[in-house]
Structure 1
Amino acid sequence: ASSRTSGAVPPKEEELRAAVEILRGHGLHSVLEEWFVEVLQNDLQANISPEFWNAISQRENSADEPQCLLLLLDALGLLENRLDPYLRSLELLEKWTRLGLLMGTGAQGLREKVHTMLRGVLFFSTPRTFQEMIQRLYGRFLRVYMQSKRKGEGGTDPELEGELDSRYARRRYYRLLQSPSCAGCGSDKQQCWCRQALEQFHQLSQILHRLGLLERVSADAVTTTLHQVTRERMEDRCRGEYERPFLREFHKWIERVVGWLGKVFLQDGPARPASPEAGHTLRRWRCHVQRFFYRIYAGLRIEELFSIIRDFPDSRPAIEDLKYCLERTDQRQQLLVTLKAALETRLLHPGVNTCDIITLYISAIKALRVLDPSMVILGVACEPIRRYLRTREDTVRQIVAGLTGDSDGTGDLAVELSKTDPASLETGQDSEDDSGEPEDWVPDPVDADPGKPSSQRRSSDIIGLLVSIYGSKDLFINEYRSLLADRLLHQFSFSPEREIRNVELLKLRFGEAPMHFCEVMLKDMADSRRINANIREEDEKRPAEEQPPFGVYAVILSSEFWPPFKDEKLEVPADVRAALEAYCKKYEKLKAMRTLSWKHTLGLVTMDVELADRTLSVAVTPVQAVVLLYFQDQASWALEELSEVVRMPVALLRRRMSVWLQQGVLREEPAGTFSVVEEERPQDRDSMVLVDSEDDSDSGLASQADQKEEELLLFWTYIQAMLTNLESLSLERIYSMLRMFVMTGPALAEVDLQELQAYLQRKPRAFCPELELDARGSTHTPVRNSKALPHPASEPYCEVSAFRRVPSGAGNYCECSLGLSREALVALIALLAGVSASCFCALVIVAVGILRAKNEPPCPGRMDNRVVGHFGVQEDRMDLHTVHVESHLMDPDLEASTMPPLEDHSLLTMEASLEEPPPPPPPPE
């Protein structure tokens, strides 16, 4: 035994039988297995393994695949021949072990030990060239097998049957027809070796299987080949194709791949496997291929998700395929990170229009609710869009324009608004009641936010999600009100049916009460038409000499229900003023106790401009018409002189006159002087001025910034009163009090906490240099200034303007201005903090009465302390509209507590010391 061991000669069957009997006689038969393994291991290390790798190394001298495959078969055949005696002896040992002649690890354990040793010794360190060769050959084997399946089915590619309408199928079909090479083996079609390749690969699998090396040699190559082929197939077939599903087609392809795996692992395909071990291996590989396919396909679609969302609903098949794959992989987090990065890189930057951002957000809502009905992905991935839209100034306007069908990019919103059963924003969407069947209930994903109700998160109402960007519907209602007003004022021949329909649809969404102002605006337009028809009918009955020189058609607005207009002044010519006054008298005749207040800058004028050599028919704004009318009496005007006559700033007047420069009616020559061009010259055409088209369509409404500033000015009055009376308030407390008492009604827009904080930081010094606000932390406190100037007592002074009575339908409008000392001013502010608006109005009225009763001397021409209150008397109720408090000489040492509360004193006996303000400090030298 020792000589045979040292010589590494494989034992014969007879010698083994004799050795077993001898060993059993001496009780040493248990060492036979160990001796066999040791002999095999020594022979492998010393002889078999070097011979095998020397045969493999000859592959470096041959580059083509057929020769590589033959060399591999020769090397494995040599290995099998050298191991054949050991394998036959292994079968005998297994047989004797089952018969009980030997004692050891058992038949199965011994075979597993031998195969483990073979894999460990032969392939402990596999050369890279061998791995590349195996991977290359198995890749070719797969292509040959797929080509053989196509040829075996009559030469028709099942992937192309009925699919030649797809871009990939047509491209691949024509490529196969035109290629001179075989699609399987890659050789010339006249030298195709696909059949030989299949036979040789079958031999290769059988040798590896008999040696127990099949998975050790082929597993990595098969895995790499499948990964590579799957990626290439998806890139070539699926990338950029979103309009048709691919999963069913790929499932068929996977079944063909599994058939190839059956060939690799000596199976006949999807039929019953030859052995349980092989069947288990095939099932494991099937699961691996499917799982890897789902991951690769999901990764590809995640990379393209931005484009898929953009093309929705045409890309719905791609979304459904991705949903199917995500349910079988753990790639939700990858999707969230990738989609958020794509949105921030490709969408959320200044170069993209707000309309386009809203359009893609709407597409994202539709696409992601198909992908994830729980809407968790939508809430997380699209949160950057919502934050960014809040920073765009025109977001609300674009959304409202989309709701009313005025925007081409957001037309889907009009469709959503006209749904038969819309979700009302009045009742909210946070109810936990689920209208679905209990059997259809699906729990929320594990990454869902537990702080949000499930029903609110699962809401797929697009309009509700857009409104929730700002958290308040008032912004959208006010924006629609402004948009409607702008349209009504610029489109005098509009059809009211569309606007009435929009208002009714918006009432279903936002409720009836908030849309009341819009209904009044539409009613004003209808009433204006009826009144104009009545006045025109009366004019037609008059004699020709009593007919007005030109027709006036007025749009009569209920000012309390319309948005604020721009405060632009315009002085109209006398004949125009006379025509407007005549129309006003006719209106007063129709509507008793009512009158009109004209907005000269709003409207449309249709006029014929008659010049010496031509006549122009134009439709212009009233400002442009009035400017030209002044040139009837005077052919040339200096810009500054005309500005004084028209009462309009020079820059604005020049911009309004540019339309006549463009039409060739006026000419600026020399600079700053305009004259009428009666006869057009050729050089005038060359110097014609081009006008921005937006100039002619300027809105007559006050800008959002102006409206916001006016509202904040009202807030400042209340804030001053709060701080004067209560000494110190936190920013949150100020904000809550403003929301409770001031931010009410559709006329006031919402002001958020950040806007209020920024306003408080800049406002005190602008209104009152002696009153500063200490904003340490979140508390605002008046700061006393010890550098206040002393003021000697002197003659009292005052200024009282008489009440003005202006007729109106609801009552009287009063305006008063008081010149008070700083002590009286502090007292009034202190009282304002503790009383209602109507009480403050009464206080101002009584204060005027006291000052007039005391018959104070006239005030000096210069007054530095003022309290100006504007208030209206509506029936028997007083409402404070705006209060403007300004002081440049307030003494901060005076405490508000020195003035008793209003309830403890009669208004008629209120006293306030009046004194002349100190002179201003001398200028610095």
Structure 2
Amino acid sequence: MAAVRTADSRQQWEIIKKNFCIDGDFSQINDSGEDLQLVVRLVQQLGAGQLVLDLALDAIWLALRQSVVPKFWQHFVTFEAQTNGKEDDAGEGSVEVMSRVATAVSELYDSAGSFVPQINRCEMLCEQSGAKFEDCIPGGLMEHFKLHLRATLHSQMPSSFMHLLHKFYSAAFKVFYQAEVGSQVEESEEVTDEPVPCGGCGGATDACHCQAITNTFCQVNKQLYGLDLLERLAGDIISSLLLSVITDHVSTTCRDSYDQSCINQLEKWVENVVVGWLELVYCGSRGQLSSADAAIQTMVSNNLNQTYMTALYHTYTTTRIDQLFNIVIEYPESQPALEDIRECLDRTHLRDRLVESLRSAIQTRLLHPGVNTTDVLHAYISAIKALRVLDPKGVLLELVSEPVRQYLRGREDTVRYIVTSLTDESCSELSEELLVAAPLVLDDSHSDDDNMDNWETWTPDPVHAHNLKSKSQRTADIISMLVNIYGSKDVFITEYRTILADRILSQFSYDTEREIRYLEHLKVRFGETLALLHKCEVMVKDVADSKRINTSINSDENPHREKQKFPVSAMILSAQFWPSFKEERLQVPEEVTKELENYTEAFQDLKGNRTLNWKPHLGQVQLEIELKNRTLNLTVTPTQATIIYHFQERNRWSIDDLSTMTQVPKTVLRRKITYWQTQGVLQEVESDVFVLVEGEETGEEGQTAAAGLPLADIAPPAIEEDEAESVMASAQDQREEELQVLWSYIVGMLTNLDCLPLERIHAMLKMFVQGSVECSPQELRAFLDRKVRQHQLLLTNGLYKLPKN
């Protein structure tokens, strides 16, 4: 009886093994539901439900590891070995890649499908016998199977697979791209007799493989999607391919093109090309879709569309950041590109990168001695305008512009160029800014932007703006930004005084309408109460007063007119209101001195208790020079007139003798004589010895002048050279003169207190010299150090003291 039971049990077990493929043979699965019900009841009678389920699943996993997956990967290993080191033909190579991948995926899909009946039996066994599998995976036993399939595939993946799959998707995308946009390119190409290869597959036109590639591509993706392998095996490849395509397209579209907006065009391109191809990948079609495919398409449009749009914004912004220096310099032509960047910055996190990149580009390409101050300032002004397009709040501008401000502050000619540009109609960029009737906004100003009156439109500053300056400064106009390079109005008005003085004394014109107009604009900008602007008003008034005084003195009713040998007109300046002049000496001829004294007498008669202190080296002299063969009528400087005056006394002068006679330094005298050489009046016969040229033995320059050319064509260059030289003391010299006022106070302190540190000297000066001369501790240190080098002070252990006699 026991032997019979043993035989029956063995037979029952064989039936169970056969129906649940425990031996690994999945080719003889009987799909009959009636037989399967009997087998399940048999398993229940034996109480072996869990054992059978475990054995059946182990058989499936073993088949995947040892048969299905190795066979799948073998296709790729073989193909890589066959094509290693060989260049693919454009058309045939694509077709071969597509065919090999399609064959491998199709076999895998069929092999996986052969396990479906077995999985169904296992699920029935679980339902009726109570057997359980790992329930940590949602979706049932089929999802469990797909997970094992993915895990097994990844565990055995060969290195050649990614390369081949990349070729597969690249070839498919090329075909799709050609179908989408290739027709537009073909229309613009010239027609030739030579055969044109297909832009998609690369093969001959009469043997195009594009449709076959597309069909194969859709089939492979559908099968991979059905196995839940599309995203797992190809997701990274698809992403990297599309990101590369987006990067290349953005670079091509935006290469050195700043005057047109590109972002809308690029968004449409992503929707049509990138998202369109993704729909082909996941849905297999862009036309009529089933309900399931429509759901997939919705997923693609909502999720992947947003993903690749974000990638577009990031790529576009990164590309433009690399070009941002050129974009800023070319403003306002580049405003469309700036508006695109502003739109993309709101959708990315690249503000810090933009700031660092632009600061680095400015430091490398702009802030070095090889760049003129004019170019640096033009770039700074363009940056102010351009960065306010990117960020109207001015945070980006302040983060980027600080190195430029520091650099400009260290250049000596910055203030002069700014002031010259403000009051020069030829520089429209800044002169137009001066016409805006708005007061300056300085760094110490405060703004009420944070009030909540307009809370509906209020937006906070970025988090990294908490340590920046006031909002009013960030949104200040260009002139305010330039003034704040130095943080003081006085620096600019002082420079304006010097430039105004140069203009008046170089032109010697009584027409001050232009200067009055600019002065009124400056009063609006800098404030009417500024003392330095009042001095400028007095300077302009001096010109009008000089015209009236000259008219009175040179009138026929003036008794002093009878004494005049030649007319004298003076520009009478109020000494305390004008900036300091350069210290130059000139001894004019006695005849000229007498005429100046006569003018002084006439002025004293007119003004009573006032007199004149002449600056003989300044002004203009109208000369008529009679030579043997010509007469010259010229307007020259007093120094040039004095030089030629002495040549009527004798025809030959050395530089040494002439310097002694005129009291003009030899170097200056040599430069002034050059003018008369260019006129052909003087000639250097020996080193530093000059003679008057009157006859036809003149040099080449003299013959040119005698030939009848207009003198206006010859004289202006030399006159302009003199005009280009400022007659006023430099800003540094003027400041040194102002600081000398402090020297007497410092000497008195050190005389009474023996020795003092810098901080104590500065504090006492602020106390005793209030408002007359402002001096920072750094400037005071430099001034005292100069006194130390001149041996007027001693510095010991940080203490200044007077040297003992």
Identify the TM-score tier after normalising by the shorter chain.
0.7 to 0.9
Answer whether contact 1:668 1:675 (CA < 8 A) is retained.
yes
State the partner residue of 1:327.
Answer: 346
Deviations 1:659-681 (A, max 9, x none): 11222211222212221111253
Task: State the alpha-carbon separation in 2 of the partners of residues 320 and 463 from structure 1.
Answer: 24
Answer whether contact 1:564 1:701 (CA < 8 A) is retained.
yes
Residue 68 (1) aligns with residue 82 (2):
no
Change (3 A) 1:632 1:12: farther
Task: State the alpha-carbon separation in 2 of the partners of residues 427 and 510 from structure 1.
Answer: 14
Residue 648 (1) aligns with residue 664 (2):
yes
> Cα distance, 1:744 vs. partner?
3.2
State the partner residue of 1:722.
Answer: 749
Q: When you count helix as a share of all residues, which structure comes out higher?
A: 2
State the partner residue of 2:687.
Answer: 671
Task: State the alpha-carbon separation in 2 of the partners of residues 755 and 144 from structure 1.
Answer: 72
Change (3 A) 1:486 1:535: same
State the partner residue of 1:203.
Answer: 219
Per the alignment, in what secondary structure is the counterpart of residue 556 of structure 2? Answer: helix
Which of 21, 35, 60 in structure 2 is aligned with 1:40? Answer: 60
Per the alignment, in what secondary structure is the counterpart of residue 155 of structure 2? Answer: coil
Residue 491 (1) aligns with residue 507 (2):
yes
Residue 299 (1) aligns with residue 323 (2):
no
> Cα distance, 1:150 vs. partner?
4.7
State the partner residue of 2:787.
Answer: 763
Answer whether contact 2:197 2:204 (CA < 8 A) is retained.
yes
Answer whether contact 1:376 1:457 (CA < 8 A) is retained.
no
Task: State the alpha-carbon separation in 1 of the partners of residues 129 and 763 from structure 2.
Answer: 93
| Residue segments in structure 1 that go unaligned for 5+ positions in a row | 158-171, 784-887, 891-925
Structure 1 stretch displaced more, 624-633 or 280-289: 280-289
Residue 55 (1) aligns with residue 75 (2):
yes
Task: State the alpha-carbon separation in 2 of the partners of residues 527 and 553 from structure 1.
Answer: 12
State the partner residue of 1:772.
Answer: 794
1:321 partner letter: D
Residue 111 (1) aligns with residue 125 (2):
no
Residue 535 (1) aligns with residue 557 (2):
no
Task: State the alpha-carbon separation in 1 of the partners of residues 490 and 549 from structure 2.
Answer: 32
> Cα distance, 1:615 vs. partner?
2.5
Which of 362, 380, 403 in structure 1 is aligned with 2:422? Answer: 403
> Cα distance, 1:620 vs. partner?
1.7
> Cα distance, 1:265 vs. partner?
1.3
Residue 708 (1) aligns with residue 735 (2):
yes
2:157 partner letter: T
Task: State the alpha-carbon separation in 1 of the partners of residues 767 and 389 from structure 2.
Answer: 42
State the partner residue of 2:364.
Answer: 345
Per the alignment, in what secondary structure is the counterpart of residue 566 of structure 2? Answer: coil
Task: State the alpha-carbon separation in 2 of the partners of residues 321 and 30 from structure 1.
Answer: 64
State the partner residue of 1:370.
Answer: 389
Which of 295, 309, 314 in structure 2 is aligned with 1:290? Answer: 309
Residue 464 (1) aligns with residue 488 (2):
no
> Cα distance, 1:736 vs. partner?
4.0
Which of 454, 460, 476 in structure 2 is aligned with 1:443? Answer: 460
Change (3 A) 1:27 1:736: farther
Task: State the alpha-carbon separation in 2 of the partners of residues 72 and 289 from structure 1.
Answer: 26
> Cα distance, 1:307 vs. partner?
0.5
| Residue segments in structure 2 that go unaligned for 5+ positions in a row | 1-15, 705-713
Per the alignment, in what secondary structure is the counterpart of residue 126 of structure 1? Answer: coil
Task: State the alpha-carbon separation in 2 of the partners of residues 624 and 500 from structure 1.
Answer: 32
Change (3 A) 1:553 1:323: same
State the partner residue of 2:638.
Answer: 622
Answer whether contact 1:176 1:183 (CA < 8 A) is retained.
no
Answer whether contact 1:396 1:479 (CA < 8 A) is retained.
yes
> Cα distance, 1:606 vs. partner?
2.5
Task: State the alpha-carbon separation in 2 of the partners of residues 651 and 213 from structure 1.
Answer: 90
Structure 1 stretch displaced more, 606-615 or 289-298: 606-615
State the partner residue of 1:479.
Answer: 495
Deviations 1:689-712 (A, max 9, x none): 997964553211112232233223
Residues 570-719 of structure 1 aligned to structure 2 (within 5 Å): 570-681=586-697, 683=699, 685=701, 694-695=721-722, 697-719=724-746
> Cα distance, 1:199 vs. partner?
1.4
State the partner residue of 1:898.
Answer: none
1:520 partner letter: V
Residues 130-169 of structure 1 aligned to structure 2 (within 5 Å): 130-150=161-181, 155=183
Per the alignment, in what secondary structure is the counterpart of residue 628 of structure 2? Answer: coil
State the partner residue of 1:212.
Answer: 228
Task: State the alpha-carbon separation in 2 of the partners of residues 427 and 150 from structure 1.
Answer: 55
Change (3 A) 1:176 1:252: farther
Structure 1 stretch displaced more, 57-66 or 683-692: 683-692
Task: State the alpha-carbon separation in 1 of the partners of residues 131 and 719 from structure 2.
Answer: 105
Structure 1 stretch displaced more, 681-690 or 70-79: 681-690
* Seq. identity, %: 37
> Cα distance, 1:43 vs. partner?
1.0
1:534 partner letter: S
Answer whether contact 1:97 1:107 (CA < 8 A) is retained.
no
State the partner residue of 2:44.
Answer: 24
Which of 340, 350, 375 in structure 2 is aligned with 1:356? Answer: 375
Per the alignment, in what secondary structure is the counterpart of residue 251 of structure 1? Answer: helix
Task: State the alpha-carbon separation in 2 of the partners of residues 184 and 225 from structure 1.
Answer: 16
Answer whether contact 2:73 2:157 (CA < 8 A) is retained.
no
Aligned residue pair count: 755
> Cα distance, 1:91 vs. partner?
4.9
2:742 partner letter: F
Deviations 1:880-916 (A, max 9, x none): xxxxxxxx763xxxxxxxxxxxxxxxxxxxxxxxxxx
2:96 partner letter: Q
CA RMSD in angstroms, aligned pairs only: 3.2
> Cα distance, 1:599 vs. partner?
0.8
2:350 partner letter: Q
State the partner residue of 1:252.
Answer: 268
Answer whether contact 2:77 2:158 (CA < 8 A) is retained.
no
Change (3 A) 1:27 1:654: same
Structure 1 stretch displaced more, 576-585 or 93-102: 93-102
State the partner residue of 1:265.
Answer: 282
TM-score of the pair, normalised by structure 2? 0.87
Per the alignment, in what secondary structure is the counterpart of residue 674 of structure 1? Answer: strand
Task: State the alpha-carbon separation in 2 of the partners of residues 324 and 16 from structure 1.
Answer: 65
Deviations 1:748-791 (A, max 9, x none): 5x5443232122223136254xx523243xxx3438xxxxxxxx
